[in-house]
Amino acid sequence: MRIVSFFLLVVIFLSCNKEEEEKRIKYHEIEITASSINLLEKNITNKDNRSYVKEFIDSIGRTKRLEFYNSRGQLDYPGSGYYGGPIIKYHYEPNSITETAYTSDIDLANDFQTSEVPNQIIYYLNDKNEIDRTVFRYKIEFNMEKDQLDEIINNLKLYKDLIPNSGLETREMDSIFGYQFATARLHGINFIKPKSN
């Protein structure tokens, strides 16, 4: 009798846990174009023939992961010049939010050789809950011949010289990219970088 009671308790616990996890998943309709992605409607229930973002919320109410799907229900790229991966994961520290793009559960998105866009952005926050600065990180693959590596080094030098003039850090990343598609933002805030005078 004790074994049956224990088994029933385990089944009840697991089913309650599963229901709680499902409550922490939200779906939002999006429109994917060649160069961008637009949020159309938050908290949809019917995903049939719609492109959508699947938002996973952690146990304390923060967005922990976003997955971008096309209208056929397949993981698809978010259509941004910054990310080439259909999965974005978040890591939270007291004064920063790290946003990392993946192509699968474990594979980082992008590499500099093919996309020249970062796979990770760290947003540093000030005590006013504003973005103080952003740091872009890039993944570079080194399984290549010396000539190819020399070419990449030259391209990196050129790209590094272009970054300060491109306005990436100041103009384009004045908010957290994935938060525009999320409802469970940290402290409910869509962090922004204040405009400089």
Which residues of the chain fall short of a pLDDT of 50? 13-14, 16, 81, 165-171, 197
pLDDT of 162: 58
Does residue 113 belong to any structural domain of this protein? Answer: yes
pLDDT of 171: 41
User: What is d(CA 72, CA 18) in angstroms, rounded to the nearest whole number?
Assistant: 26
pLDDT of 187: 74
Does residue 5 belong to any structural domain of this protein? Answer: no
pLDDT of 123: 92
Does residue 122 belong to any structural domain of this protein? Answer: yes
pLDDT of 27: 96
Does residue 111 belong to any structural domain of this protein? Answer: yes
Does residue 32 belong to any structural domain of this protein? Answer: yes
Question: What residue numbers bound the domain in which 154 lies?
Answer: 25-188
Does residue 2 belong to any structural domain of this protein? Answer: no
The rounded Cα 114 to chain-centroid distance in angstroms is 20
Does residue 10 belong to any structural domain of this protein? Answer: no
Q: What is the pTM of this model?
A: 0.73
Q: Where are the beta strands (DSSP E) in the chain?
A: 25-32, 37-41, 51-57, 63-69, 87-93, 96-102, 120-125, 131-137
CA triple 180-181-183, angle to 5 deg = 95
Q: How does pLDDT run across 105-134, given as a tens digit for each residue?
A: 878 776 555 566 778 889 999 998 889 988
Domain count, the chain: 1
pLDDT of 65: 95
- What is the distance between the terminal CA atoms of the chain, rounded to a whole angstrom? 73
66, 80 contact by CB (below 8 A):
no
Does residue 171 belong to any structural domain of this protein? Answer: yes
